[in-house]
C-alpha cells in the first residue's frame, strides 16, 4: 500500500517536474490517481511532460506552471494558482535543482544562481505552501530533494555542496517545526538520491552508465520509504551500496569529533585510515 497521501483525488505539486526525478515522481502520482501540477522554468519541456501525464491522468487533472523557484513572488503565484485550480495541495515535492559546476572564487552571480535555485527554491516552496497545507487539516507531505554531496561535501563543486547542505539543515528544521505545530498533519522528508541518470548528471552522455539508477527507480524507492515513514530517504545506486554511503557520512562527521582536517577523506595523510575504516578494521 502506498503512503495514504498518495491517493486518488489528492493533489501533487512538483517543481523541476518537466524532466528527471520530478517527471518520474509526477508520473507515479498520476498513476496513483492524483491530480498533478508540474512547475519548471522550461516551457517547452513542460508542454511535452503535460502531454505524457495527460495520457495517464486525463488533461483535466494535469496543470503546468512556468515557475522560477528562486523568486518568492513566482512561488507565491504557483501556490495561489494551484489553490484556485485544484483547491489546495496535499503533496509538495521541492525538487527543482541545477548543477552547472562551480569554483571557490568564481563569479558571485553564479553562486547566487545555484544557491537561489537549489536552496532558496526549497525554502520558498516550504514556507509558502506549508501554512495553507496545515490549515486544510489534512495529512500531507513535503518532500525536499537533497544530495549526498550536501552531507559528505566532496571537493570540486562548493556552491552545489553549500546549497544541498542547506537543504538538509532546512528540511530537518522544517520537520521539527511541523511535528511541534498543533493540529498539523504534514510531514517533511529529505530525499537523498544516489547517482541518477538525468539531464543534470548526463554531462554529454547519451546512454545511462551501468552504475546509475533511472529516475523511475529512484522514485519507486522514495515511494516505498515514504510508506515506511522514513525522514531521510537515502537512496543507493548500482555502484555504491548503502553501507559505503553510511561509512562516508560517518567519516565526515568524525572529522569534527576527531578534530581531523576538513574533508580528510581526500587528504593524503588519511587515505589509509579511511580505507581501514571502510573495511571495518
Helix (H, G, I), strand (E, B) or coil at 217: helix
Backbone angle region of 88, left / alpha / beta, with phi > 0 → left and psi within -120 to 50 → alpha: left
What does the block give as the cell for 42? 522550461
C-alpha–C-alpha distance, residues 191 and 226, integer Å: 10
232: annotated active-site residue: no
Return the DSSP state at 213.
B
E strands within 214-264? 232-234
> Of these residues, 86, 111, 129, 160, which one is catalytic?
160
Helix (H, G, I), strand (E, B) or coil at 96: coil
| Exposed e or buried b per residue across 29-60, where buried means at least 16 C-beta atoms within 10 angstroms of its C-beta | bbebebbbbbbbbeeebbeebbeebeebbeee
Q: What's the start-to-end Cα distance of the chain, in Å?
A: 41
Closest CA to 64 of 91, 89, 83, 82: 82
Q: State the catalytic residues.
A: 160
Amino acid at each position: 500500500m502506498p503512503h495514504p497521501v498518495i491517493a486518488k483525488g489528492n493533489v501533487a505539486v512538483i517543481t523541476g517536474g518537466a524532466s528527471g526525478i520530478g517527471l518520474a515522481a509526477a508520473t507515479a502520482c498520476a498513476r496513483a490517481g492524483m491530480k498533478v501540477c508540474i512547475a519548471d522554468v522550461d516551457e517547452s519541456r513542460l508542454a511535452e511532460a503535460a502531454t505524457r501525464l495527460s495520457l495517464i491522468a486525463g488533461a483535466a487533472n494535469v496543470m503546468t506552471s512556468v515557475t522560477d523557484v528562486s523568486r518568492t513572488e513566482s512561488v507565491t503565484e504557483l501556490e495561489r494558482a494551484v489553490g484556485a485550480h485544484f483547491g489546495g495541495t496535499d503533496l509538495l515535492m521541492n525538487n527543482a535543482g541545477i548543477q552547472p559546476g562551480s569554483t571557490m572564487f568564481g563569479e558571485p552571480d553564479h553562486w547566487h544562481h545555484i544557491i537561489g535555485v537549489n536552496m532558496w527554491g526549497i525554502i520558498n516552496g516550504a514556507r509558502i505552501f506549508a501554512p495553507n497545507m496545515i490549515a486544510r487539516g489534512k495529512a500531507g507531505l513535503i518532500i525536499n530533494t537533497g544530495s549526498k554531496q550536501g552531507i559528505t561535501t566532496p571537493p570540486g563543486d562548493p556552491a552545489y555542496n553549500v546549497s544541498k547542505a542547506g537543504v538538509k539543515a532546512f528540511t530537518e528544521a522544517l520537520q521539527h517545526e511541523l511535528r511541534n505545530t498543533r493540529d498539523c498533519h504534514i510531514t517533511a522528508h529529505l530525499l537523498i538520491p544516489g547517482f541518477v541518470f538525468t539531464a543534470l548528471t548526463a554531462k554529454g552522455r547519451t546512454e545511462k552508465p551501468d552504475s546509475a539508477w533511472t529516475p523511475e527507480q529512484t522514485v519507486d524507492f522514495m515511494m516505498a520509504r515514504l510508506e515506511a515513514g522514513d525522514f531521510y530517504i537515502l537512496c543507493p545506486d548500482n555502484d555504491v551500496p548503502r553501507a559505503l554511503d553510511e561509512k562516508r557520512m560517518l567519516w565526515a562527521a568524525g572529522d569534527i569529533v576527531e578534530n581531523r582536517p576538513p574533508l580528510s577523506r581526500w587528504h593524503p595523510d588519511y587515505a589509509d585510515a579511511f580505507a581501514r575504516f571502510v573495511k571495518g578494521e
